[in-house]
Amino acid sequence: MEAVKTSPALRADFVTKETEAMNIMNTALEKDCDWTMTQDRGAETSRLIRRPKKLG
């Protein structure tokens, strides 16, 4: 987490990739894809995205 705090480039990359992952997971749930994930993890993923965004 320290690396994310001190590196704006790493933080931006993390936020971008985490947002893409959240969108993919939500799409799979909406389309009833056969994933092992059976419940919406959007709230958890959203928290992971918000924290680095707050750092700037």
Can you say whether residue 32 is alpha, beta or left, with left for phi > 0 and alpha for psi between -120 and 50 degrees?
A: left
In the chain, domain spans: 2-29+41-54
Q: What is the pTM of this model?
A: 0.57
Tens digit of pLDDT for each residue in 1-56?
788 788 999 988 988 888 888 777 777 666 666 555 566 666 777 777 777 777 76
Query: What is the radius of gyration, based on Cα positions, of the chain?
Result: 13
- From residue 14, how far is each of 22, 30, 52, 54 by CA, in Å? 12, 24, 8, 13
Other CB atoms within 10 Å distance of the CB of residue 52: 19
- pLDDT score at 43: 74
